[in-house]
Structure 1
């Protein structure tokens, strides 16, 4: 009988009185009023605004300092602010970086910094110890030269990696065009990074990290009385006036679509962005309906119009999304995605079609209710975190929003109807005045011309700067290879060169490799023996993690994931097309396919570009037109899932046994970048058998 009672209890009213109609979205309940406790806001004597949000559920407290000085034009030193942000925790006049890290770890504190902010989170009982470090950094950061040099090297590697990132290149091109003569449009390059000095970083910090106009947001297990006490104790001696506010022009509106192309040689996909400025400010009444409209258009889910069209219907891409970006001094909407090269023009057509469709007719009830439900749920969940309440308070104070802006969020969200969405789309959306940025293979350029209002395609480099047209080479490939070999051997005739090279039977190079993602240096040993044997190993803390071995006839590759794998016949054939210490000398007879494409200017340097194919890989070698040194090699990845192209750059050539070897080698593969420094080169020591 008990089982029967339980079973009856499981029968729902829907079973008794009819099935639910699951084809209809349930009607949304009326939006509930949000009860958000008003934070405590007070001014410190030095001009800093303090915002306190008490939360005593956990014995933890956080301090988030945001300085009031906004972004400024950096010109030839673009990247200065962000570089300073990476260096703020590198030491003070009282503590070294190691001491800061050790003390933070000891008390279990989290300390993070950015170009305009500093954050501390710790247990309440360790608050005073944490604030000693926090306030010391705020007032006494000293940017040691050794740390400055270390971070700059990391940045150099990251900039090299960016050249293999379609998304990074596309973002540079878009922002440079959209925000011309504006801080948002400035892009860090190798050239601007090289101009930044430690003195520049110190001056930036001195001018920017000042209390006047800054905001200190305190969240957690702390009372107002205690907050006032610690602010006075740790920040009363901090002084400084904020710089005058600078206004910059809004994002540039267009009269007709403008197409910008970034060449990514050998790309099998096109990364596309379609964007346009938005005339909105943070906290505008149109913010919420604009976000609703964007969420239906491209948002972040699978149910958006972009995803349904470009992925589900057309199968052009794995994903296409859009975002509304509203910053203090500019706003824009951007839709983007990675698409197969052969559908580049079709993808752009559909992106523009969906923009137009948003302005032509009402969205459906299903689209609207699903979007509002998702946005409302996300907002409600965010209220579970005390930091959210503090962020709301900061925005209200910083941007002058109405005091009830966030309290009325759900009510204002629920009020957005189909009529409002269409009104917003017709006011802000456009398919006729867009920036269309494409990163990909140059084979698509002709297909892009119909999308540009003038039928002209602007070509820019990885950093958004205009690219000069490639010039016709003034020598043949064979002449280039000969001149390169003369440069490497410091000779002036083939006879002298060959005489020198005959003396060199083997070369062993010890290379220290550093990368930002690994906290310790890696060691690489590269061995070459005449005529065509080679070994390459990579060691991490004394353990060989990767190795390639080739004796001219057979070989293998091994790593910790796959173990030892014999080289294929194709790989062996490819290696035998790069014979000799200077393989260019033998290309004509080894079977290597080559073509001197022309002269290309990159970062102010003219370079001969040679296209190579060894039967397995497509490569591009770049040689300085002045001295014929090899500057870099680009190896094309034809697999979009493989992580990207490989780029190796060579510099700092020094003579060893009469031959010039590069002593600085930077390798980037997708988002990974290794900074290599040659520590030692040994000539005629060792044999291939020593490494088998």
Structure 2
């Protein structure tokens, strides 16, 4: 057979996307267990996910510090001993923190679960936050933060979140002095209240047959019970600032960090999928209008983009970039021009077609293995949504009209109402 190299292969759009659904088990102690059993490799990922406790502005670091130090020692194991036990079996244990949740994640061969799960259980039930390790943690984090505070984009992101969300877990960022308020007693109290089975969701993904589920259930159901104090996972309401222009001058800056945007609807809102289409046109991929104008045409920046971040009790739309300090005002003018253009003119059909294919292809490409399917489930589950969300999402991406997108731009994209944060020169 002779290949015809002059005729490109036929282009096929994404028709439908099938997601793997988990099996759900409720343990007798109130812990929820979801299992994604798929794959041929003898590998499993297990996540223990906890909702963060109510934010305390007087002790802003407790949620993140307790999570970060989970592996630093129990009453019988030091940090080095924990690491040795995990490494011996070729496993990997990591902690992850977000505004809404803290989690401990284990990657291991399934044949080693019996040896590793007791170590994980000891971490989640008996972490003690040793004074020596705590002192090291505070010193290291202070140094890292002081370095980060010299970066304009880092400071701009902090100021932007504070403006949008106020004195909440989404808005308050740590200062170096805040680490001095961390004391072992507070961390132990926080740990006992937060790391309880009723506040825990376990998600297993990989080659997870009955023997894996049974091993996890036996380890984390028997002899793990709630404490007398229930976990307070409520959060105070967000408090957007009244001042919408925030400028922090840095006289010697060669570049200015820009962050613009506003609070917006969350993932559960009916407008969210179509707003993602609109956002992608504006700045959500490399061929977006912001990139084409401000990077490719004007040469003001190496990169600019926009995005939407949805949390449990808040959400934001943002545009972010670093531009030459001498063209900061000009860059803002061009951003406003692109935002306003979406309100005044219909998106051309060929541009929208490209965006549709990019979004659906990105979604399909993000489902490369069973663990990525579990990640999609987490996003839905913790937002109170079902799998029909992705059915609606794909239908909206395929069928939203240019008129509907223009209506959404006029409804949500009022540049005068955007919070505008600039760090550098203006």
Normalising by structure 2, report the TM-score. 0.92
Please give the alpha-carbon distance, in whole angstroms, between the structure 1 residues aligned to 2:378 and 2:4: 50
Note the 1:376-525 alignment, pairs <5 A.
376-407=360-391, 409-441=393-425, 444=426
2:37 maps to what in 1?
A: 54
3-state DSSP of counterpart to 2:66: helix
User: 1:387 Cα shift?
Assistant: 1.2
Q: Within the alignment, does 1:10 sit opposite 2:22 as a pair?
A: no
1:178 maps to what in 2?
A: 164
2:331 maps to what in 1?
A: 347
Note the 1:164-175 alignment, pairs <5 A.
164-175=150-161
Q: Within the alignment, does 1:243 sit opposite 2:231 as a pair?
A: yes
1:97 maps to what in 2?
A: 79
1:77–1:193 Cα contact (<8 Å) kept: no
Please give the alpha-carbon distance, in whole angstroms, between the structure 2 residues aligned to 1:148 and 1:413: 48
3-state DSSP of counterpart to 1:405: helix
User: 1:225 Cα shift?
Assistant: 5.6
User: 1:135 Cα shift?
Assistant: 1.1
1:266 maps to what in 2?
A: 252
How big is each residue's C-alpha offset from its partner over 1:417-474, in whole Å with a ceiling of 9 and x where there is no partner?
3223222222221201011111114xx3xxxxxxxxxxxxxxxxxxxxxxxxxxxxxx
User: 1:161 Cα shift?
Assistant: 0.5
What is the root-mean-square deviation in Å for CA atoms of aligned residues? 2.2
1:215–1:394 Cα contact (<8 Å) kept: no
What is the aligned counterpart of 1:195 among 162, 175, 181?
181
Structure 2: gaps spanning 5 or more residues: none
What is the aligned counterpart of 1:145 among 117, 131, 144?
131
User: 1:35 Cα shift?
Assistant: 2.9
Please give the alpha-carbon distance, in whole angstroms, between the structure 1 residues aligned to 2:122 and 2:239: 38
Instruction: Using the TM superposition, name which of 397-406 and 371-380 deviates more.
Output: 397-406
Aligned CA distance change for structure 1 residues 88 and 430 (closer, same or farther; 3 Å): same
User: 1:242 Cα shift?
Assistant: 4.1
User: 1:245 Cα shift?
Assistant: 4.2
3-state DSSP of counterpart to 1:345: helix
Please give the alpha-carbon distance, in whole angstroms, between the structure 2 residues aligned to 1:345 and 1:421: 28
User: 1:409 Cα shift?
Assistant: 4.1
What is the aligned counterpart of 1:117 among 103, 121, 126?
103
3-state DSSP of counterpart to 1:114: strand
3-state DSSP of counterpart to 1:378: helix
1:293 maps to what in 2?
A: 278
User: 1:226 Cα shift?
Assistant: 4.0
How big is each residue's C-alpha offset from its partner over 1:222-260, in whole Å with a ceiling of 9 and x where there is no partner?
224640343123442222264244243246286xx7211
Please give the alpha-carbon distance, in whole angstroms, between the structure 2 residues aligned to 1:244 and 1:151: 26
3-state DSSP of counterpart to 1:406: helix
1:136 maps to what in 2?
A: 122
3-state DSSP of counterpart to 1:319: strand
User: 1:265 Cα shift?
Assistant: 3.3
Please give the alpha-carbon distance, in whole angstroms, between the structure 2 residues aligned to 1:276 and 1:147: 39
Aligned CA distance change for structure 1 residues 56 and 345 (closer, same or farther; 3 Å): closer
Please give the alpha-carbon distance, in whole angstroms, between the structure 2 residues aligned to 1:41 and 1:288: 27
Instruction: Using the TM superposition, name which of 263-272 and 414-423 deviates more.
Output: 414-423
Q: Within the alignment, does 1:252 sit opposite 2:234 as a pair?
A: no
How big is each residue's C-alpha offset from its partner over 1:321-353, in whole Å with a ceiling of 9 and x where there is no partner?
111111111111111211112211111111122
What is the aligned counterpart of 1:39 among 8, 18, 22?
22
Please give the alpha-carbon distance, in whole angstroms, between the structure 2 residues aligned to 1:130 and 1:290: 44
3-state DSSP of counterpart to 2:196: coil
Note the 1:518-533 alignment, pairs <5 A.
none
Moved segments of 4+, more than 6 Å: none
3-state DSSP of counterpart to 2:68: helix
1:60–1:124 Cα contact (<8 Å) kept: yes
User: 1:285 Cα shift?
Assistant: 2.6
2:202 maps to what in 1?
A: 216
Normalising by structure 1, report the TM-score. 0.58
1:120–1:130 Cα contact (<8 Å) kept: no
1:470 maps to what in 2?
A: none
1:289–1:413 Cα contact (<8 Å) kept: yes
Structure in which a larger fraction of residues adopt helix? 2
Higher relative contact order (CA 8 A, sep 6+): 2
How big is each residue's C-alpha offset from its partner over 1:357-401, in whole Å with a ceiling of 9 and x where there is no partner?
122121122221111211111211222211122223333433321
Q: Report how many aligned residue pairs link the two structures.
A: 420
Q: Within the alignment, does 1:327 sit opposite 2:315 as a pair?
A: no
2:349 maps to what in 1?
A: 365
Please give the alpha-carbon distance, in whole angstroms, between the structure 2 residues aligned to 1:191 and 1:395: 34
1:253–1:433 Cα contact (<8 Å) kept: no
Aligned CA distance change for structure 1 residues 236 and 56 (closer, same or farther; 3 Å): same
3-state DSSP of counterpart to 1:338: strand
User: 1:205 Cα shift?
Assistant: 1.4
1:61–1:218 Cα contact (<8 Å) kept: yes
Aligned CA distance change for structure 1 residues 367 and 216 (closer, same or farther; 3 Å): same
1:35–1:407 Cα contact (<8 Å) kept: no
1:204 maps to what in 2?
A: 190
What is the aligned counterpart of 1:283 among 262, 268, 275?
268
1:84 maps to what in 2?
A: 66
Q: Within the alignment, does 1:308 sit opposite 2:292 as a pair?
A: yes
Name the larger-Rg structure.
Answer: 1
Structure in which a larger fraction of residues adopt strand? 1
